[in-house]
Structure 1
């Protein structure tokens, strides 16, 4: 009932139609995003594209490994309804036919058997004053004390040096290059927004936002540590929410690291856990040499 299609066999018209009409719709599964972020990918299909499941592939030591690409948080199963039986079929097919290092389903997916969970934080479209009531007390105070800062929207081409100098979390040069390729792609798609906080004339913090239809997604929050005491990150997120949350939801795109999780929650964000299939390197090697 599940068919595996390599990239050249995919009917992208039917694939896109399935995504657009799915209950689980997200931007990570779009063809153009997967084309950019994945080394290669293929597709599992149920019926005539009634349900689909994109599978990112990377070659490691001569073997094809399923691994989530950088900046691609959730994939999983997409279709017109929630159907746990069909999801289990996809999961079983994935485990039987692929060497999986990591594969993240989306938070709508019901399949959870023996799977770990990862955290994401999200704010639905709402009125800012209602959201503000859900801020943690300490966050309200921090935002209030930072009102001497200035909020501006920025042009990406003018601030690459700030990003390069202050970016944290990516150690490999190839990963950093991939980040900038992704930014360039988003800009070409007219989906990139940059916002900054200033102390007098000095840029202290920058938020890199994906502007996608009715949602803002936080791709990166870049902080200059010499201005840490000015609380520019709190000021910046608050102003973005103040000006946009009435018409766009806000996806923090993460939250599994304790300190970052608390920061996101403090703005009244709600938890969205999503299942992830993970194998250790040891277990993966056993599966590789067993076949």
Structure 2
């Protein structure tokens, strides 16, 4: 049986035990991460916390709209084993009881119902020499080779780096979204999860990779390019050098890949496709679903 549990009533001891022992565990589902990223969130619970599903939501007048917050890629159902029967119960309850704008399950969740999928690319832990020799695209090998004159450095949050991020981060249209992103970096740094690496040409920062360090995996939060130095192929150099120094102990998660040009870039480093299922509704769909619920 699935129950909805409001935030104030969540047994976080049981919740933490469930997610820590789940096969789907990721850093998004941790309480402190959800508390930071979500204005509001609650929980769907199966049995006595045998399986859980965090649900971020926003309030609109008298309505609660289930919606993924910025910078959160995959949530979904967390349990000791991914049970398609239990997952379907969650999905049916979720659709019946929420107006869903956008919700993204994790790649381990499977359902009887067919849902839309999004693409993600990941490189498992492996020998770097084998990865580059056997899995890199030929063109990527060549591009990386020509950029070896660049310098690779780990960088830390200071005024110069923050200005570089604000001036070169693409995809955030609103000023408040950029403010939230900067706050997120401070949060990750405080949590010990922020790593940043840069490529330099004659002391000029050409590219910056912003990573979430989750212990056994690096997740790419942002890959920023200084357009003035685009011809130096710093992005290729930077990803290659991060892989060279880390891929034998840490997996690398590109955190996306649905846009064709970006997908090809990620694939060219020998990454594996990892799809996850999503529910996305237009305003018309939401009104139609609201009429059904009410």
Question: Would the TM-score normalized by the shorter structure come out above 0.5?
Answer: yes
How far apart, in 2, do the equivalents of 1:178 and 1:127 lie?
37
How far apart, in 2, do the equivalents of 1:117 and 1:195 lie?
31
How far apart, in 1, do the equivalents of 2:35 and 2:168 lie?
28
* Post-superposition offset of 1:90: 0.1
Instruction: Write the deviation string for residues 146-202 of structure 1: whole angstroms up to 9, x where unpaired.
Output: 011000000112410111111111111121111111111000011101100000110
Instruction: Write the deviation string for residues 260-280 of structure 1: whole angstroms up to 9, x where unpaired.
Output: 000000000000000001111
Aligned counterpart for 1:201 among listed residues 200, 203, 222: 203
Corresponding residue for 1:92?
Answer: 92
Instruction: Write the deviation string for residues 194-245 of structure 1: whole angstroms up to 9, x where unpaired.
Output: 1000001100000001111111010000110111111000000000000000
| Alignment root-mean-square deviation, CA | 1.0
Establish whether residue 229 from structure 1 lines up as the match of residue 238 from structure 2: no
Q: Which runs of 5+ in 2 are unaligned?
A: none
Corresponding residue for 1:126?
Answer: 126
**What secondary structure does 1:197 align onto?**
strand
Runs of 4+ in 1 over 4 A off after TM superposition: none
Under a length normalisation based on structure 1, what TM-score does the superposition of the two structures give?
A: 0.98
How far apart, in 2, do the equivalents of 1:148 and 1:62 lie?
59
* Post-superposition offset of 1:61: 4.9
How far apart, in 2, do the equivalents of 1:62 and 1:138 lie?
54
Corresponding residue for 2:140?
Answer: 139
Under a length normalisation based on structure 2, what TM-score does the superposition of the two structures give?
A: 0.97
**What secondary structure does 2:262 align onto?**
helix
Corresponding residue for 1:277?
Answer: 279
**What secondary structure does 2:223 align onto?**
strand
How far apart, in 2, do the equivalents of 1:185 and 1:179 lie?
10
Corresponding residue for 1:213?
Answer: 215
Corresponding residue for 2:19?
Answer: 19
Corresponding residue for 1:30?
Answer: 30
* Post-superposition offset of 1:39: 1.3
Q: For the Cα contact (< 8 Å) 1:112–1:275, is it kept in 2?
A: no
How far apart, in 2, do the equivalents of 1:111 and 1:275 lie?
9
* Post-superposition offset of 1:114: 3.5
How far apart, in 1, do the equivalents of 2:154 and 2:228 lie?
21
**What secondary structure does 2:274 align onto?**
strand
Instruction: Write the deviation string for residues 49-83 of structure 1: whole angstroms up to 9, x where unpaired.
Output: 00000000012354210011111100111101121
* Post-superposition offset of 1:258: 0.6
**Length, aligned pairs only:** 291
**What secondary structure does 2:120 align onto?**
strand
Corresponding residue for 1:153?
Answer: 154
How far apart, in 2, do the equivalents of 1:62 and 1:208 lie?
38
Deviates more, 1:199-208 or 1:55-64: 55-64
